[in-house]
Amino acid sequence: MVDYIGVSDIQRLVQRLGAGAFMERLAGEIEADYRRWSEFEKSARLASHSKVGVIELMPTSDGRLYSFKYVNGHPKNTAAGLLTVTAFGVLADVDTGYPLLLSELTVTTALRTAAMSALAAKWLARRDSAVMALIGNGAQSEFQAIAFCRMLGIRALRLYDVDGAATAKLERNLRALPEFAAVTLVRCRSTAEACKGADIVTTVTADKKNAVIMTPPMVSAGMHINAVGGDCPGKTELHGDILRMPGARVIVEYEPQSRIEGEIQQLEPEFPVTEFAALLGGAATGRSSDADITIFDSVGFALQDYSALRFLHALLHEERGSHRKIDLVPQLEDPKDLYGGTIGSGKRARLRLTG
């Protein structure tokens, strides 16, 4: 039997800890795994693109555990009452090849994306950062807001979306949280207005196109930009000249993948970037002064999903009482008799199927 986490289970696990604490603990697990970067198999995700979206597989392994995530991105889905992003994943034992966990990753992807964003900002943003612009107020926005307020102490959020209803939704959801009672929420009329006075700017829009959400005049000295929405070929948010600005430092998760999918797909192949793991290992520096402009070009990487699945599996086994399991793999009295132990007739097959 294989451990199983569905949507109701992730709701229970997050509610038990609180969303902010959950993401903070998850960020710690992600950081721990990035610190052993050399142990992981790394590859750009396998993507199947269509005119309306993308379906991707994201695998990795450290030689002991193997994980993969299935994830889609279809920006027009919301018009049909469907989610833009859905996902599920598997954690498996390398020694036997047996799956250990089958889990939803739709909610978890939002949690791990925000956890990674805040973790990167802890390493890259100015320590006195208190104001964040949140541009794109859709499905990811609450998670980003909660993670940044919890992990970086953000005290003011400047909100903008082309859809005013999305901003109203975000403000309503955040106002319902006790921890946001002392956080100032400001609705802005444009991206430029949102960026004014912001120490950190998070862009998390959904349109599948080379958009220009931010331009160089919106960037101020010392700003940290958390560019989340550009995550596939032909989908970016930042004007390319922002990446080339004097004093700007671009940090990526896994360079070969980011060259294909990230903001840096706009730039020449030799343009210098730094992988996040190099910061943790001391091989590179992010911010050298309060005047530096730092850019986290985030597309999402398989290691983060590995960390999330490993964390979920551990949380599941912390709980008292039974948790859900599914018969994803046959349990046979004779492992060489797959037919007789499953669909074959006879008492033994029936017992194994029902027991």
Q: Cα–Cα distance between 30 and 333 in angstroms, integer?
A: 39
Residue 290, helix vs strand vs coil: coil
Q: Cα–Cα distance between 355 and 350 in angstroms, integer?
A: 8
Q: Cα–Cα distance between 23 and 44 in angstroms, integer?
A: 25
Token pair 């939704």: residue: 169
pLDDT for res 244: 95
Instruction: Give residues with Cβ within 8 angstroms of 62, minimum separation 6.
Output: 33, 36, 39, 40, 41, 306
DSSP state for residue 201 in the 8-state scheme: E
pLDDT for res 353: 43
| Assigned token pair, 238 | 């930042």
pLDDT for res 209: 72
Q: Cα–Cα distance between 53 and 20 in angstroms, integer?
A: 30
CATH 3.30.1780.10 domain position(s) in the chain: 2-107+304-347
Q: How far is CA 46 from CA 40, 61, 70, 163, 302, in A?
A: 17, 15, 10, 32, 11
Q: Cα–Cα distance between 244 and 263 in angstroms, integer?
A: 11
Q: Cα–Cα distance between 14 and 143 in angstroms, integer?
A: 12
pLDDT for res 346: 53
List residues with catalytic annotation.
231
Q: Cα–Cα distance between 28 and 17 in angstroms, integer?
A: 15
Q: How far is CA 42 from CA 39, 111, 150, 234, 300, in A?
A: 9, 22, 30, 23, 13
Residue pLDDT tens, the chain, 355 long: 999 999 999 999 999 999 999 999 999 999 999 999 999 999 999 999 999 889 999 999 999 999 999 999 898 998 999 998 999 999 999 999 999 999 999 999 999 999 999 999 999 999 999 999 999 999 999 999 999 999 999 999 999 999 999 999 999 999 999 999 999 999 999 999 999 999 999 999 977 677 899 999 999 999 999 999 877 788 899 999 999 999 899 999 999 999 999 999 999 999 999 999 999 999 999 899 999 999 999 999 999 999 999 999 999 999 877 789 999 999 998 999 999 888 886 545 444 444 3
pLDDT, tens digit, 9 for 90 and up, residues 282-338: 999 989 999 999 999 999 999 999 999 999 999 999 987 778 999 999 999 899 999
Give the DSSP H or E segment for 348: helix 347-354
Residue type at position 120: A
pLDDT for res 345: 63
pLDDT for res 23: 98
pLDDT for res 320: 76
pLDDT for res 319: 85
Fold of 2-107+304-347: ornithine cyclodeaminase, domain 1 (3.30.1780)
Q: Cα–Cα distance between 63 and 70 in angstroms, integer?
A: 20
Cβ atoms within 10 Å of 252's Cβ, excluding its own: 24
pLDDT, tens digit, 9 for 90 and up, residues 171-206: 999 999 999 999 999 999 999 999 999 999 999 997
Token pair 């697990």: residue: 29
Fold of 118-300: Rossmann fold (3.40.50)
Q: Which residues pair with 93 in a beta bridge?
A: 65
Residue 248, helix vs strand vs coil: strand
Q: How far is CA 73 from CA 6, 20, 212, 230, 305, in A?
A: 20, 25, 19, 11, 16
